[in-house]
Amino acid sequence: MISQKIQSVRGMNDILPDEAEFWDLFDETIRSWLKSYGYRPLRLPIVEPTPLFKRAIGEVTDIVEKEMYSFVDSLNGEPLTLRPEGTAGCVRAVIEHNLIAQQPQRLYYMGPMFRHERPQKGRYRQFHQVGVEALGFPGPDIDAEQILMGARLWDDLGLDGISLQLNTLGQFAERASHRAELITYFERHSESLDADATRRLHSNPLRILDSKNPALEELIHGAPKLIDYLGAESMAHFEGVQRVLRDAGLPFEINPRLVRGLDYYNLTVFEWVTDRLGAQGTVCAGGRYDGLVQQLGGKPAPACGFAMGVERLISLIRDAGGEVRAAAVDVYLVHQGIAASRLAARVAEGLRDRGIDVLFHCGGGSFKSQMKKADASGAGFAVIVGDDEAAAGAVTLKPLRATGEQPNPQKRVSVDAVADEIMSSILDWDET
Ligand code: ATP
Ligand code: MG
């Protein structure tokens, strides 16, 4: 009987070696970029208590209403959720471990997030984010720094065509008066609202501004603008951010419809968008969330941060022709016969001691078939051990990549000399 195949969960993808090597390289770039701005890593749980997200993200948001993978721990009845984003967990950890009691912190994390959305290009149910958070900094300087960080990263990654959209959400009280006016306005036009907007009208009217329904375009265009309700302090913060961006020569567009899908934001919000990914054009989004630390039970502290969609960025890099050569090993170790295999195993470990990467042939087979595998592996050398070599305490070293005019013949090398021989050839190659 043939058993039925089990497949991955819809919207949750395997990342196979060719792709995963690319991801590793991407991670390295990300880590050194973050280090250059003084950010330090955090590793956080993937599962958190469900109330964390309800309280942080807001009950009336797409994420909490319909996108969370929530379940009850069958052993103790605890309501749990696979994290749909990282800020809530990061702030929970910062409070739990008292991280900002002495000084502000620049922190980052990366890893999978989970949202039950309709899978399509650039939108998955398990996707990956790099999250960057600065806690304890009140001024617009850090908002601007985080925005400028983005610009540098696109450069580091060789990406162009990513542009900056900026807005301010003001403070809670300012939003409240704007919200009242917004409700009045949309109520006057209730016959033109779609089902989503009607549902949001009293719970989260700001989100109507974010609607992607073209039929609402004109109505939204004429809606009261939050910026007209901002006080002097909020305006000064917004101006402060813009000043740094202008000084740095970074172009941006102020988009009054940019409201973000999570409730915890105030003042600065921003998104980095591209038109090269179809409908899923936002690669990075963030802003200030001064109320969240207190909302989650900590001593009030200002904060701001952003998150990047790794799948979307990687697909942009790929489309721009960014390639990564599969990281081949240095040596493929070919061996046959009992004594030869034992010597080969010792040689392999000796080479690894010297920092040389070795793929040790497993599974037997003729010299000919092993040599084929060696060629296909992309290794720079085959190290061959047969009965003759084993008897002589030596190996045959065969360069697999011809360089220059030299034919690079294979040669017999003593076991003790093989590492040096390989190292010096690698150096020669690097010079040419
Ligand atoms: P969108 O409007 O595309 O749904 P969002 O506002 O829900 O995005 P955020 O919560 O701000 O997204 O997450 C930050 C970034 O994470 C997004 O800009 C995007 O690049 C990425 N992202 C969000 N949801 C997904 C997903 N389901 N699949 C892949 N990437 C995602
Ligand atoms: Mg979303």
Q: pTM for the complete prediction?
A: 0.88
Identity of the amino acid at 43: R
Same structural domain, 257 and 377: no
DSSP state, 100?
Answer: T
Distance from residue 131's CA to the centre of ligand 1 (Å) = 12
Residue to probe by mutation, ligand 1, list 26, 127, 196, 284, most atoms within 8 Å of CB: 127
Give residue ranges with CB within 6 A of ligand 1.
Answer: 85, 115, 117, 122-124, 127, 129, 261, 280, 282-285, 307, 309, 311-312
Same structural domain, 341 and 235: no
* pLDDT mean for each 10 residues of the chain (432 residues): 92 94 93 96 98 93 94 97 98 98 96 97 97 97 97 94 95 89 92 90 85 89 91 96 97 90 86 91 96 96 98 93 74 96 96 95 95 94 96 95 69 95 81 60
Q: Is residue 115 part of an annotated ligand binding site?
A: yes
Residue 44 counted as domain residue: yes
- Decide: helix, strand or coil at residue 70: strand
Q: Is residue 129 part of an annotated ligand binding site?
A: yes
pLDDT at site 407: 62
The sheet with strand 105-114 has its strands ordered as: 40-41, 105-114, 126-135, 303-309, 282-288, 266-273, 163-168, 253-254
Residue 159 counted as domain residue: yes
Phi, psi of 239 (to 5 degrees): -60, -40
Same structural domain, 283 and 361: no
How many beta carbons lie within 10 A of that of residue 105, not counting itself? 20
Give, for 389, the enclosing helix (H) or strand (E): helix 387-392
Identity of the amino acid at 206: L
Q: Is residue 260 part of an annotated ligand binding site?
A: yes
Measure the CA–CA gap between 226 and 89, rounded to whole angstroms.
Answer: 29
Distance from residue 190's CA to the centre of ligand 2 (Å) = 25
The CATH number that applies at residue 366 is 3.40.50.800
- Decide: helix, strand or coil at residue 256: coil
- Minimum-distance ligand 1 atom for the alpha carbon of 84: 10
The protein residue with its alpha carbon nearest to ligand 1, atom 21, reads: 309
Distance from residue 132's CA to the centre of ligand 1 (Å) = 14
Same structural domain, 340 and 312: no
Residue 325 counted as domain residue: no
Same structural domain, 308 and 338: no
Same structural domain, 379 and 401: yes
SS (H, E, C) 186-248: HHHCHHHCCHHHHHHHHHCHHHHHHCCCHHHHHHHHCCCCHHHHCCHHHHHHHHHHHHHHHHC
Residue 11 counted as domain residue: no
Residue 152 counted as domain residue: yes
Residue 222 counted as domain residue: no
Among 265, 300, 320, which residue terminates a domain?
320
Q: Is residue 10 part of an annotated ligand binding site?
A: no
Domain that holds residue 380: 331-431
Q: Is residue 332 part of an annotated ligand binding site?
A: no
Same structural domain, 265 and 142: yes
Give the ligand with the smallest distance to the CA of 261: 1
Same structural domain, 53 and 157: yes
- Minimum-distance ligand 1 atom for the alpha carbon of 282: 18
Q: How many domains does the chain contain in total?
A: 2
pLDDT at site 431: 63
Residue 224 counted as domain residue: no
Among 320, 353, 385, which residue terminates a domain?
320
- Minimum-distance ligand 1 atom for the alpha carbon of 312: 20
pLDDT at site 279: 85
pLDDT at site 425: 84
The CATH number that applies at residue 272 is 3.30.930.10
Q: How far apart are the first and last CA of the chain?
A: 58
Same structural domain, 23 and 113: yes
Same structural domain, 368 and 278: no
Q: Is residue 265 part of an annotated ligand binding site?
A: yes
Same structural domain, 271 and 402: no
Residue 191 counted as domain residue: no
The protein residue with its alpha carbon nearest to ligand 1, atom 19, reads: 309
Same structural domain, 398 and 271: no
β pairing state of 69-72 and 253-254: unpaired
Among 269, 297, 320, which residue terminates a domain?
320
